[in-house]
Structure 1
Amino acid sequence: MLSPSRRRRRAVGLSLAMAAMSVVVLAGCAPGGSDPGAPQRRSVNTRLADEPITIKLYTETNYTLYEELAHEFQRQHPNVTFEITKERYDVLLQNAPRLMASDNPPDLVRLDVQTDQVKDNLLLDLDPYADAYGWDRFPPTQLAPLRVSESGQRGEGSLYGYGINHSVTGVYFNKELARQIGMNEPPATMGEFEELLQAARDAGLLPIMQANAAGEANMTYQAILNQLLDRQTVEDWIYNVPGATIDVPESVAAARRLQEWAEKGYLNSDANSVDYTSMVGRFAAGEGLFMFLGNWQAAALDSEMEGNVGFFLFPPEDAGRPAIAMSTPGSLVIPAKAENPDAAAYFLNWTLTNSTARQTVADVGGSVPGGDPGRPLPDVAPGSVTEQTQEAFQDVAEGDGAIGFLTNATPGMFQNTLAPQLQLLIGGRTSPEEFAAKLQADYEEDLAS
């Protein structure tokens, strides 16, 4: 837990009071131009127009934050209407490239930046807006996951996404069930965590409520992997550093551990047929001591399990090691062919500069808003699980333990590789060695295509 001094709200830094302005900037040529490699000058307007505007938002069904932000923006700006389309995230990933390339693309898409989207000229380069709005005040680590260079290197180059909220992943636990097995504090090591799994099993409780119908167990697998494999190796693989590999003994060991948990009955037997929504609903109803998930679910669990839910970062193999957890910006992108890019960018900037919007990020998203670190943090209820996830985020950030998601390593890694391979692994139909080898083989094939 954070000390009282760390809980103090940060002083407000310089305000971003931008005068209505239109600046001419150097930007990459839009799709369809005669020379895609040649820059052209275009106007970036930071003033929201007075006439009626419709912003088309394409987002995911399991996360309502962006929808709630859109509603609040409409309330503050009555001339703006949001047209919102929602789909399950794995379906969104499949459909987004086609929609962004169409003649009627969305203006905003909930999407993590991928190199193929940049290569195919589907995303708008946001550097001109970053210059106009002063996003250079953001910590570089907030923007790095959203950058892609001209050579296709992720983590550097131009900015193609905007991170509104910052995730942190860990383990939720049911306090009442924890008391039944004598769990008085979070485990300090993976060994202690596994002792709790067995204690729950011996007490007739389900140790872990797990979904995996669409590859949701990727968070459980990577939580284990993060503690066994050095952080740089994982990051190099996610960011496509030449020569990076995940077909190593530590990846095999992580897969074996997850498979053994399934074999020992630590996961619900129907995990491979349970979807995200059902997992969360069953956990909230009291089924399962633990659930691997991120802070985006904290606000809802505070409401559904008031006072009976806690959160901790997944522990290391050895006590005392710094916390390592998946923690990335939840990003929105503007398609290159968007009809209203200026209005979309205005909305993005509003999400992290407007006090009500920042509070919404905490209240609905259960997460820490990004942006200028000089701005005050939103208020959260003392003792809530949202407070615990925010403290966990600060612990990870201060210890430089944030790491990306394996699912974002290549465009097809989540749907085409991790999801089906995790089904096979948990179902006992592939070996840990085959699992790690398949991840690497598909990764190399994706990068070569």
Structure 2
Amino acid sequence: MSTLTRKLPVMMGVMGVVAFAVTGLAACAPGGSNPAPSASLGSVSKTIPKDKITLTEWDQNTDGGSSKAQGTLNKAFEAKYPNVTIKRVSRSFSDLKTTLKLAISGSNPPDVVQANQGYPDMGAFVKGGLLRPVDDYAKLYAWTSYYPSSLLKLNTFSSDGGTWQAGNLYGVSQTGELVGVYYNKKVLDQLGVPAPKTLADLDADMAKAKTAKVLPLSYGDLDKSPGIHLYGVVQAAIAGADKVNNLVTGTSGSWTDPDNVKAATTIQGWAKNDYLTAGSGGVSRDDALATFAKGGCAFMVDGTWQQATLEADMGKSNVGFATLTPEGAPAPVTEGGEGLAWAITSKAKHADAAAAYINFITDAKAAQTLLDTGNLPAVLPSGYTAPSGTLAADITDSYTKIAKANTVVPYLDYATPTFYDTLTAGMQNLVAGQTTPAQFTGSLQTDYAAFTKGRS
């Protein structure tokens, strides 16, 4: 999960597919320098050996559309290179976070993995010497021109894993991502309300849903990561892009600033007003998704990776996707950017084959495969337009609008090595009413302050 920018010929229109330049993200993390890329690891080649090869890849493409796309791309790669067999291991995001480091630390690690950006995962892997820098392959396959520097920077680290967005490149991303508000068009029509454009609209719409005895927002946080997205969407709609970007990258601000407390207060208020699924801490993400897909509520906050599943369950024109605009702002602001980086492990036995595989599943042809299976590619094919009135149209319209305005914000767990655990546990307690908004934001600031102090 992450942020991005686009300016290539394969991108849509003038903005290329995503101008998620996010100026705050262009700066290094607090206390960091800009070390030079590592020395060459030896010669690299696009030629894959003719011997039989098995490439093991680990991914988190478990949702319907992403899993189908990955399977399709893997088969196409094997057809192009008959001597190569792809052994796929697919795990949920939460499972990947808990098992991947152990897997790539072992004596027989996978060759290619999806590594989450930021300090908790990619930074830790780089620090442990578990990932191979891919600057040489980026040059060989022209990734440095296909992706702009602002996107590539999100997949870079200093060789000691201490400085994010500087130093060596450790992967490239396959998909684009936004987190937003899904809505059931039929339910909103019955309530007599339009799709929300602001947080105030969403709040008012949920109040009407509750009055009509309709669950306002389906929410399950048993898997922890949904809490990041709920807080991130509300925070972005209140604080705006610059403040959130500066906060995550340590440029300025505090997690206890009024806007961040207001976001926590808003969410806890929703829970107290029964706008959220009761007992959400014990409800899985999949169960919350199923409730929404079956028409059991008005809204759901989730990422664009749910597109294919919702299209299959609800139809392409019965569900919508909205991103929220902060008061007085010219464009929507939300979390997102790019999917997890595809990286080569340091012990990969066939690095050239691994790089060829990554290039194959992330290039312009792969982008069309992603679209055909209900996914949002990181770079949209030139001239692509989704059918009007469909969920795909809502998603791509939001993606390009936010790209043009440079108003995507990073996933909040990138902030420190321990921020994922602090934020997800804090959100469960906040929604359950076990902590106050001030205590919640205070715990975030304590985590970040300890991190920045240790780097000063």
The TM-score normalised by the length of structure 2 is 0.83
3-state SS of 1:368 partner: coil
Bigger relative contact order, structure 1 or 2, given CA contacts below 8 A and separation 6+?
Answer: 2
Query: In the aligned structure 2, how far is the partner of 1:368 from the partner of 1:269?
Result: 34
1:312 aligns with 2:322: yes
3-state SS of 1:57 partner: strand
Distance change in 2, residues 1:287/1:136 (3 Å): same
| Residue in 1 that maps onto 2:23 | none
1:112 aligns with 2:116: yes
| Residue in 1 that maps onto 2:447 | 442
1:292 aligns with 2:301: yes
Percent identity over paired residues = 26
Distance change in 2, residues 1:239/1:131 (3 Å): same
| Cα deviations by residue, 1:22-57 (Å, 9 ceiling, x for unpaired) | xxxxxxxxxxxxxxx983541211123333221111
1:182 aligns with 2:192: yes
Query: In the aligned structure 1, how far is the partner of 2:99 from the partner of 2:233?
Result: 28
Q: Report if the CA contact (8 A) 1:363-1:380 is conserved.
A: no
1:45 aligns with 2:45: yes
Shift of residue 354, structure 1, vs aligned partner: 4.9
1:413 aligns with 2:423: no
Query: In the aligned structure 1, how far is the partner of 2:314 from the partner of 2:100?
Result: 34
Query: In the aligned structure 2, how far is the partner of 1:250 from the partner of 1:68?
Result: 44
Query: In the aligned structure 2, how far is the partner of 1:191 from the partner of 1:143?
Result: 35
| Residue in 2 that maps onto 1:200 | 209
| Residue in 2 that maps onto 1:393 | 399
Distance change in 2, residues 1:44/1:385 (3 Å): same
Query: In the aligned structure 2, how far is the partner of 1:342 from the partner of 1:377?
Result: 32
Q: Comparing 169-178 with 402-411, which one deviates more in the overlay?
A: 402-411
Query: In the aligned structure 2, how far is the partner of 1:131 from the partner of 1:249?
Result: 45
Q: What are the equivalent positions in structure 2 for 1:29-428 lying under 5 Å apart? A: 39=39, 41-60=41-60, 61-62=62-63, 63-64=66-67, 65-113=69-117, 114-137=122-145, 138-150=147-159, 152-183=162-193, 185-215=194-224, 216-241=226-251, 245-306=254-315, 307-316=317-326, 318-330=327-339, 331-355=341-365, 357-364=366-373, 366-370=375-379, 376=382, 380-414=386-420, 416-428=421-433
Query: In the aligned structure 2, how far is the partner of 1:240 from the partner of 1:69?
Result: 38
Query: In the aligned structure 2, how far is the partner of 1:67 from the partner of 1:256?
Result: 42
What residue ranges of structure 2 are gaps of 5+ in the alignment? 1-10, 17-36
Q: Which amino acid aligns with 2:49?
A: A
Shift of residue 446, structure 1, vs aligned partner: 5.0
Distance change in 2, residues 1:54/1:437 (3 Å): same
Query: In the aligned structure 1, how far is the partner of 2:116 from the partner of 2:71?
Result: 17
Shift of residue 379, structure 1, vs aligned partner: 6.2
Distance change in 2, residues 1:141/1:343 (3 Å): same
| Residue in 2 that maps onto 1:4 | none
Query: In the aligned structure 2, how far is the partner of 1:366 from the partner of 1:388?
Result: 13
Q: Report if the CA contact (8 A) 2:374-2:392 is conserved.
A: no
Distance change in 2, residues 1:334/1:214 (3 Å): same
Query: In the aligned structure 2, how far is the partner of 1:394 from the partner of 1:354?
Result: 17
Q: Which amino acid aligns with 1:418?
A: L
| Residue in 1 that maps onto 2:438 | 433
**Aligned pairs, number:** 410
Q: Which amino acid aligns with 1:427?
A: A
3-state SS of 2:217 partner: coil
| Residue in 2 that maps onto 1:17 | none
Q: CA RMSD in A?
A: 2.4
Query: In the aligned structure 2, how far is the partner of 1:341 from the partner of 1:410?
Result: 30
Distance change in 2, residues 1:103/1:446 (3 Å): farther
Query: In the aligned structure 2, how far is the partner of 1:10 from the partner of 1:192?
Result: 31
Q: Which amino acid aligns with 2:54?
A: T
Q: Comparing 224-233 with 336-345, which one deviates more in the overlay?
A: 224-233
| Residue in 1 that maps onto 2:8 | none
Shift of residue 377, structure 1, vs aligned partner: 5.4
What residue ranges of structure 1 are gaps of 5+ in the alignment? 1-7, 14-36
3-state SS of 2:348 partner: coil
Query: In the aligned structure 2, how far is the partner of 1:364 from the partner of 1:279?
Result: 22
3-state SS of 1:208 partner: strand
The TM-score normalised by the length of structure 1 is 0.85
| Cα deviations by residue, 1:331-365 (Å, 9 ceiling, x for unpaired) | 2221111222211211121223352x211222335
3-state SS of 2:222 partner: coil
